[in-house]
Amino acid sequence: MKNTVKTFAKMKAAGEKISMLTCYDYTTAKLEEAAGINAILVGDSLGNVMLGYPDTLSVTMEDMITYGRAVARACHDTMVVIDMPFMSYQVSASQAVENAGRLMKEGRANAVKLEGGAAVCAQIDAITAAGIPVMAHLGMTPQSVNAFGGNRVQGKTEDAAQQLLEDAKAVERAGAFAVVLECIPADLAARITKELTIPTIGIGAGDACDGQILVYMDMLGMFSDYTPKFVKHFAELGKEMKEAFAAYDREVKSGAFPDAAHAFGAPAKD
């Protein structure tokens, strides 16, 4: 059955944890759906892991639509959330609605995600008024890396923690159906999770959140540029891929591949 915003609300009410992973392509999305993941985020982290940028700032609407549509084609039961890229929603509420609409129409998303608290509540309100579900994102929000002066844990002082709690309540009031909490102290995430009626999805935010999300190349051990503390490797696919590529390279060069089993025989006589 299709996971929707209703599923998210029901799971929080029932105390069931929500599983999310990022994804950027059709083949991997099919595997994530087959594994029972509740929702997929086509994150603008694709700027890092797919396109090799040092941050997410250069990611475009076209990038999000191309990868988003590929994922959506694979997903029947899994909810697909597509990230709004940097500067696609900050300028105005009307531009935010237009771009969210493109992610729905051209990207075939079921919901969109954007970063920020009180500062983007007008956008959340306008997008949800258009019938488009919005996931919010607070804490270490990567599109603000230059304002933060690097990727660092947020909400560490009592003032900052209070501000985050206020922002969380504000995005809930504005109509967000869920909120990602990234890189904040576990006790603060627990407090926010308790005070909100919408589910919190944590990444580097401890075990009290209503759900969890990771970048799939991180949790598979494929991405090695940097590994944040909160990433757990559920497999070492990077190592396995490297070994398989090397075995192929050896067999091609030695002539062991292709053997008769992987070649076509002589044409049949008629």
Binding residues for 3-methyl-2-oxobutanoate, by number, are: 44-45, 83, 113
Q: In this chain, which of 3, 7, 22, 200 binds ligand KIV, going by CB under 6 A?
A: 22
- Binders of ligand KIV among 135-194, rule CB under 6 A? 137, 180, 182
User: What string marks each residue from 78 to 117 as x (binds Na ion by CB under 5 A) or -?
Assistant: -----x----------------------------------
Q: Reply yes or no on whether 158 is catalytic.
A: no
* Alpha carbon distance 48, 151 (integer Å): 14
Q: List the single partner that 180 binds among Na ion, ligand KIV, none, CB under 5 to 8 Å by kind.
A: ligand KIV
Residue nearer to ligand KIV on the CB measure, 139 or 262:
139
Distance in angstroms (rounded) separating the CA atoms of residues 229 and 220: 15
178: CB partners within 8 A, 6+ apart: 5, 8, 18, 135, 136, 198, 199, 200, 201, 210, 211
Q: Which strand (E) or helix (H) includes residue 48? A: helix 46-49
Residue 214, by phi and psi: left (phi above 0), alpha (psi -120 to 50) or beta?
beta
Please name which of 220, 203, 221 lies closest in space to residue 212, comparing C-alpha atoms.
203
Kindly state the tokens that stand for 57: 């700032």
CB of 85 to Na ion, least distance (A): 9
Among 33, 44, 167, 172, binds ligand KIV (CB under 6 A): 44
Given 182, 236, 243, 251, the catalytic residue: 182
Interface with Na ion, residue 44, by CB under 5 A: yes
Q: Contact at 8 Å (CB) between 203 and 182?
A: yes
Question: Binding residues for ligand KIV, per CB under 6 A?
Answer: 22, 41, 43-45, 83, 137, 180, 182, 203, 213, 215
Residues annotated as catalytic (active site), given as ranges: 182
